[in-house]
Chain A
Amino acid sequence: DGGITQSPKYLFRKEGQNVTLSCEQNLNHDAMYWYRQDPGQGLRLIYYSQIVNDFQKGDIAEGYSVSREKKESFPLTVTSAQKNPTAFYLCASSDRDRGHYEQYFGPGTRLTVT
């Protein structure tokens, strides 16, 4: 089955540690996205990538970093510079050939930093 996988589903870290969230897709989509979700705030865009080896900052990129070395993979690193990292993180992808309009989402990773 085609889809997006995110691992792990739950992640716990101590304050001051960097942590990397995995996102893999087998939909052959060009574009991939990372969102952060907090209660009552909807989804906010962290980073996005339209093609391999290229990515752009979204609305709340500070304290985060990404890489796009392969079409299928778009890992997100939450660095110690992110002041409030505890949140639910969602990865998505879209098909450039269909105008990117519709995004497909992974199941999410809930990160808790104490």
Chain B
Amino acid sequence: AQSVTQLDSQVPVFEEAPVELRCNYSSSVSVYLFWYVQYPNQGLQLLLKYLSGSTLVKGINGFEAEFNKSQTSFHLRKPSVHISDTAEYFCAVSYYTGTASKLTFGTGTRLQVTL
């Protein structure tokens, strides 16, 4: 079975400071990893994804994540956050059951950026 753990439910940070949102996964098969962002009362938007290849993945809005197989982690980072980055962030793992592809989500991390 696949599972995703987001260790921090909330992360407060000052504007222009760096941030890291942590994500750990467990899986018995090959995984494909995603970070999504959700602004209040909206759907989810894909930030970035790891399918294969380079373990450092760059996404939209200046975010990046590093896939670490030995530590089963896929942490999200941004070197300098902006007020507009305030949102909920979800880590997810995709897996194929043999008949269908599914996503398992973490419980989310709320990033609160203040001046």
Interface residues of A (CB under 8 A from B): 4, 6, 9, 31, 33, 40-43, 45, 48, 50, 56, 58, 88, 90, 92, 94, 99-108, 110
Minimum CB–CB distance from B113 to chain A (whole Å) comes to: 20
A94–B43 contact, CB under 8 A? no
B32 interface residue (CB < 8 Å to A): yes
Question: Who on chain A is nearest to B90 by CB?
Answer: A42
B43–A50 contact, CB under 8 A? no
A-B contact pairs, 30 of them (CB 8 A): A4-B43, A9-B41, A31-B100, A31-B101, A40-B108, A41-B107, A42-B90, A42-B108, A43-B44, A43-B90, A45-B102, A45-B103, A50-B99, A50-B100, A56-B100, A88-B41, A100-B96, A101-B32, A102-B34, A102-B46, A102-B94, A103-B103, A104-B46, A105-B36, A105-B43, A105-B44, A106-B43, A107-B43, A108-B41, A110-B41
Question: Who on chain B is nearest to A107 by CB?
Answer: B43
The total of chain B residues at the interface (CB under 8 A) is 24
Kindly list chain A residues whose C-beta atoms are within 8 Å of the C-beta of B9.
40
Q: How many Cβ-Cβ contacts under 8 Å join chain A to chain B?
A: 61
How far, in angstroms, from A111 to B106 measured CA to CA in the complex? 22
B70 interface residue (CB < 8 Å to A): no
A42–B100 contact, CB under 8 A? no
How far, in angstroms, from A48 to B96 measured CA to CA in the complex? 13
Question: Who on chain B is nearest to A41 by CB?
Answer: B107
